[in-house]
Amino acid sequence: MGKGPFSFRRPSIRRRPKKTADSSPTAASPNAANNSIAAAVAASKPKKKAGGARLWMRFDRFGQSELIECDKSTIIKRVSIPARDLRILGPVFSHSSNILAREKAMVVNLEYIKAIVTAEEVLLLDPLRQEVLPFVDQLRQQIPHKSSLQTQGGGQMAVQDNEMHLSTGGQWLPIREAAEGLQCELPFEFQVLEIALEVVCTYLNSSVADLERDAYPVLDELARNVSTKNLERVRSLKSNLTRLLARVQKVRDEIEHLLDDNEDMAHLYLTRKWIQSQQAEALLAATASNSMVITGPHLRHLSSNRSASLVSSNCLDEHDVEDLEMLLEAYFMQLDGTRNKILSVREYIDDTEDYVNIQLDNQRNELIQLQLTLTIASFAIAVETLIAGMFGMNIPCSLYHTEGIFGIFVGVATAACVLLFLLVLGYARWKKLLGS
């Protein structure tokens, strides 16, 4: 095209050479600046919480409590339990009941109470739930009082004159007497278990009481008036009763399972195992320090055989589960009584259903009897109608010409039909087809 006054030309573009890595910082590319800005923004954002973190309450044996957020790995390292135990505390097993003994912890899953108990602390899952608050209140009220009684006799262990002793306020007692003094109160883990069972049993008892309060008026109303509304109320009541019975049965079966196995109950003695480990460490330390001959007028040589005999004589009996057995039996009897209350309500429901069925059967029988009576009456009327129809036909008959015969004929036919009705009705009563 020719060049005119308004013609345009595309300007020539010169490509700049690529900058090397050692170019000046003032001439940095825009992409590098954008990357630095994005990195600064990302660094300024708060870090997200670790995945799977849940709210726990830590409650120690001295009454101190705090709320913490921990994930599964932190809990596993803290209490030394397998990961499958945390799945038991998850929502999938929310309606199950378990009391599991581990090496250093006890996993408690009773109704809405989900906790991990050790010899020194308890970790409670979801402590802010409305159902869990009574359990937290009971822990705060009872644990500090009981623990204060136990800590008055606490002390440290030592070996004197070849015998293990426990320091209690400046006075040294043999380990056997000290252990008996410590056993006056339940260990910390059993205190927590007792409070959990008490709260759960109280909750189940209140639920059963509410069920009884609602059940008996509804059942009495159904017995008086069988209607669709009353039947629907009884059906809903029976569903609630079945669910409540299953929950009580699960807790009762778990306690019964523990009572049947002394070994499982022995594993629940976490404080005992902790004391035994401390005694074993003290004896090992004493054995190591006295491995050489110790001279002196009042000191004797402490050999490994002597230390083994001390362990066997002074340590607590691993098969002594009387305290836990008495505790579990008390709540087992309480749960058994709760279960019996539910069963009595169910028996009352069954009796009411039987009574309603009897009423319905009686009404059905009365309807059948009425239908049979009406059928006999219809048969007698049909016979009279047959006779009237026969004489209503256009057939030559001498009676047609007799005066006054119509009234006599109708009366005789009606009386015959009534007599037939009475005869058939009497036969039905004689055969007991109709009630008296």
Q: Is there a domain that residue 282 lies in?
A: no
Which range of residues forms the domain containing residue 121?
50-131
Q: Is there a domain that residue 35 lies in?
A: no
Q: Is there a domain that residue 89 lies in?
A: yes
Given strand 157-160, what is the order of strands in its sheet?
157-160, 163-168, 171-174
Tell me what percent of the residues of the chain surpass a pLDDT of 90.
Answer: 36
Q: Is there a domain that residue 139 lies in?
A: no
Q: Is there a domain that residue 232 lies in?
A: no
Q: CATH code at 72?
A: 2.40.128.330
Pair 215, 356: CB distance under 8 Å: no
* Residue 96 tokens, joined: 């199950």
Residue 290: per-residue pLDDT: 67
Residue 70 backbone phi and psi in degrees, to 5? -135, 150
Q: Is there a domain that residue 106 lies in?
A: yes
Nearest to 206 by CA among 25, 338, 384: 338
Q: Is there a domain that residue 151 lies in?
A: no
Total domain count for the chain?
A: 2
Distances (CA, A) of 70 to 139, 226, 328, 358: 21, 56, 31, 61
84-121: pLDDT as tens digits: 888 888 776 667 788 998 888 999 999 889 999 998 89
- Domain's final residue, options 131, 146, 180: 131
pTM confidence score: 0.67
Q: Is there a domain that residue 176 lies in?
A: no
264-310: pLDDT as tens digits: 898 899 888 888 877 887 888 777 776 544 444 443 333 444 444 33
The lowest-confidence range among 47-61, 312-326, 412-426 is 312-326
166-192: pLDDT as tens digits: 444 434 344 444 444 444 578 899 999
- How far apart, in whole angstroms, are the C-alpha atoms of residue 165 and residue 177? 9
- How far apart, in whole angstroms, are the C-alpha atoms of residue 282 and residue 66? 33
- Domain's final residue, options 131, 162, 187: 131
- Domain's final residue, options 99, 131, 163: 131
